Structure 1
Amino acid sequence: MTSTSSTSAPAVDERPLAGLRVLDIATFIAAPFCGATLAEFGAEVIKVEQPEVGDPLRYWGTQTECGDSLVWLSEARNKKSVTLDLRTEQGKRIFRQLVAKSDVVLENFRPGTLEKWGLGYDALAEINPGLVMLRVSAYGQTGPYKDRPGYARIAHAFSGLSHLAREPGGKPVMPGSTSLADYFSGLYGAVGVMMALRSREKTGRGQSIDIGLYESIFRIMDELVPSYGRSGFVRQPMGADTVNIVPHSHYQAKDGKWVAVACSSDRMFERLAATMGSPELATDERYRTMRERDKRRDELNAKVGEWVASMPAAEVLERCEANEMACGLLYDIADIFEDPQYKERGNIKTMQDSRVGTYHAPNVIPRLSATPGHLDTLGPALGAHNAEVYGELLAMTAADLASLRSAKVI
């Protein structure tokens, strides 16, 4: 499988993580997303999958003609795929050999599973004292719930996010992406890996990193924790609105399109009032400060909603932009593909892949000015790199590989 684009990739040694070797034995998205992020910036990420079936993410979502899903092709980017059954003694022995030559292991088994197989962090650290291991699970490695299964949807519920994702009195909805907790946990995982590697530079010792899926969402819930801790305030669903900030919502324009208006300060409200042709609102004692506006949320939302509904969305945006008022259309993916900002920033990467032809993927972030990351290849075919990885790292011969395949170890 090969993937190319019109923009040539930088030499691998220009990327900040060149020379770092990562073993990704996780499944689905959270820990593997950490691996994809590291791979974009030069790490050699070896995806270790179950023989014959591979990572379940290959079959999750929209399938393609090559047998792998669209999400697999995007989220297993830049990785090498090998097959290995970690439940067999031969598989464990081979994995330990790989660990001895690697820097990082990414895993998301239920707590205790690797220990049961003799592959827990302490056992692997005896082989490689500098090893860094990222461990992502539903509830973390400790606590009364540590053995419970869970996915991102459960993390959204447990973290308090799903409770808020609805109109008042309505049914809780899925907050945009069903995998939000996975992606955030992967990002926190990447940060944790880099900090652990930085510590290893000083001490020579590796360490494990423990993340519960729910924790990555719980950490970003604004003032939910200090507000309840201080006054016992339990935030309730507010639909498109935001607690304490008014007007800060979505409003429907005359042509049916929706506009987001962000009015997060008194100064911004002055701009909005002027844009609406009602500058007196900004000096009216009922609306002059955020505290007063919050007391009259429904009343003020109605005024803004009436103004937005009086004209097409494009005119709302034009007037707001003229007064440096923060606003924007609620985009669907078709809008995103056509938008000049996305095009100028190169946020969508067009790839040519030998298995699926033209493929569009979200491009690499963040942008590093001197050592940028790059999307080189889409998610690989199952076991595509068995010969390369086992041959080069472990000096296995073709006969060795054939024997392991026959025994269903790889």
Structure 2
Amino acid sequence: MTRTKSGALDGLKVLDITQVMAGAYCSLLLADLGADVVKVERPGTGDDTRRMSESADIEASHAFVAMNRNKRGIAVDLKSDAGQEVIRRLAADADVVVENFRPGAMDRLGLGYEHLRAINPGLIYCSVSGFGATGPYRELGGFDLVAQAMSGIMSVTGHPGTDPVKVGVPICDLNAGLFAAFGVVSAYASRLLTGEGQYVDTSLVEAGIAATVWESNEWFGAGRVAEPTGSAHRLAAPYEALGTADGHIAVGAANQRVWTALCTAIGRPDLLEAEQYATNADRLRNRVDLSTALTDHLQHRTTAEWVELLRARGVPCGPIYDIAAVHRDPHMIDRQVTDTTTHPVLGSVTHLTVPVKLSRTPAHIERTAPLLGQHTREVLLQRGFSEEEFEALLASDAIAETIPHTIAAN
């Protein structure tokens, strides 16, 4: 893989044997930071996200493109003996393997951690699954919805007294990918010191549980089971979305100084004098009445007007954006939260960038997601396979490659 810019993980070789989101997001982050990530897919059908599209063309899936930029792609039949041997040879000089099959699946293929560690003792082997590699639920399938349900996230999301709702984004999938990438980088740092690889194991449900910081500690410390609070914070008030003349504004008056600034900015000094709102504990006990009082007053001006007034007084606040508004905001544009690549089927594609800015070795998006098997020949020949071996594997259907004339751009 030729990169025009250096990244923090330049030189790190990653074998990505993942499907859909959680594992793919882990390897995506590694790729954006400079790692040479080789995505392994099934010949013919590829990753399941290739079919998450309104188009019948598996190369026209925005879902796949979103999770697999900056990666090279090869097509290998993991169920064939020859295909398994291809993976073993690639793993022999890889730094990292990332997989997100159900625990035991890779072992049955002869491609589990112990199998590959015997070939490459320095290997970092990362597994992302629904419930982790151990425990009574280890063999259950992993889905973000189920993880949100069983981690407690759904029990505290939404408004009191309503049906359970999930977080609007696949938070357990994404958090699992983040924790996996963090685990890989931590294991890599350890290997630089010790020369030893290790097994990295994380799960969707634990990624969800890890997000329940306030809620779990409310149970640990006070024995209270947290309930939904809508947009409100469970430990500070007012800290929620409040109605305005034309919509809502998110206001975070999380301490006494900001509470004072809020009341002054909106012209309600009387609220500062009210005994029931004197302290944060008082405001929490009387949160519903406080929310009503604030909303009744804020209804007299627009969200934009209140944002301007409150920000001038140092009150943390903001409009509630839909996704289109997010990407029109001048601050987000200045922070370069998106970048583009050219895809051979989709044309220009916009991507979310890595939300971490490294001053010397920043992340870069340099290539679009691969076509199915686009780099099979390139990768295998680069990693020591001969032309004769490649052609024999191709003839046996253990591997597949994209027909070159279908590639209009890289």
Q: TM-score, length-normalised on structure 2? A: 0.93
Alignment of 1:66-215 (within 5 A): 67-177=59-169, 179-215=170-206
- Determine the C-alpha separation between the residues in 1 that align with 2:82 and 2:35: 27
Cross-structure match for 1:6: none
- Determine the C-alpha separation between the residues in 1 that align with 2:354 and 2:220: 38
Cross-structure match for 2:12: 20
Deviation at 1:62, TM superposition (A): 5.0
Letter in 2 for 1:233: R
The question of whether the paired residues in 1 share the 8 Å contact of 2:25 and 2:174 is answered with: yes
Cross-structure match for 1:242: 233
SS in 2 for 1:150: coil
Cross-structure match for 2:405: none
The question of whether the paired residues in 2 share the 8 Å contact of 1:66 and 1:356 is answered with: no
Cross-structure match for 1:4: none
| Matched length | 398
Cross-structure match for 1:11: 4
The question of whether the paired residues in 2 share the 8 Å contact of 1:66 and 1:355 is answered with: no
Q: 2:52 aligns with which of 49, 54, 60?
A: 60
Cross-structure match for 1:409: 398
The question of whether the paired residues in 2 share the 8 Å contact of 1:272 and 1:320 is answered with: yes
Counterpart check, 1:400 vs 2:392: no
SS in 2 for 1:358: strand
Alignment of 1:258-337 (within 5 A): 258-337=248-327
Deviation at 1:332, TM superposition (A): 0.8
Q: Which has the higher contact order (CA 8 A, sep 6+)?
A: 1
Deviation at 1:400, TM superposition (A): 3.5
Alignment of 1:216-231 (within 5 A): 216-231=207-222
SS in 2 for 1:199: helix
Cross-structure match for 2:339: 349
User: Which sections of structure 2, spanning at least 5 residues, go unmatched?
Assistant: 400-410
Letter in 1 for 2:230: G
- Determine the C-alpha separation between the residues in 1 that align with 2:216 and 2:232: 19
Deviation at 1:208, TM superposition (A): 0.6
Counterpart check, 1:379 vs 2:372: no
Q: TM-score, length-normalised on structure 1? A: 0.93
- Determine the C-alpha separation between the residues in 2 that align with 1:46 and 1:263: 47
- Determine the C-alpha separation between the residues in 1 that align with 2:140 and 2:360: 44
Distance 1:112 1:65, change over 3 A: closer
The question of whether the paired residues in 1 share the 8 Å contact of 2:342 and 2:368 is answered with: no
The question of whether the paired residues in 2 share the 8 Å contact of 1:241 and 1:248 is answered with: yes
The question of whether the paired residues in 2 share the 8 Å contact of 1:64 and 1:70 is answered with: no
The question of whether the paired residues in 1 share the 8 Å contact of 2:153 and 2:166 is answered with: no
RMSD across aligned positions (CA) = 1.6
The question of whether the paired residues in 1 share the 8 Å contact of 2:157 and 2:228 is answered with: yes
Deviation at 1:314, TM superposition (A): 0.9
SS in 1 for 2:276: coil
Q: Which moved more, 1:242-251 or 1:18-27?
A: 242-251
The question of whether the paired residues in 2 share the 8 Å contact of 1:64 and 1:356 is answered with: no
- Determine the C-alpha separation between the residues in 2 that align with 1:126 and 1:65: 40
Instruction: Give per-residue Cα distances to partners, 1:259-312, cap 9 Å, x unaligned.
Output: 111111111111111111012322433212100111111110011111221111
Deviation at 1:10, TM superposition (A): 7.2
Distance 1:137 1:66, change over 3 A: closer
The question of whether the paired residues in 2 share the 8 Å contact of 1:253 and 1:259 is answered with: yes
Letter in 2 for 1:277: G
- Determine the C-alpha separation between the residues in 2 that align with 1:292 and 1:63: 55
Distance 1:23 1:292, change over 3 A: same
- Determine the C-alpha separation between the residues in 2 that align with 1:35 and 1:77: 10
Deviation at 1:118, TM superposition (A): 1.5
Letter in 2 for 1:345: R
The question of whether the paired residues in 1 share the 8 Å contact of 2:338 and 2:350 is answered with: yes
Q: Which moved more, 1:310-319 or 1:273-282?
A: 273-282
- Determine the C-alpha separation between the residues in 2 that align with 1:65 and 1:97: 31
- Determine the C-alpha separation between the residues in 2 that align with 1:33 and 1:359: 18
- Determine the C-alpha separation between the residues in 1 that align with 2:178 and 2:50: 21
Counterpart check, 1:339 vs 2:332: no
The question of whether the paired residues in 1 share the 8 Å contact of 2:33 and 2:363 is answered with: yes
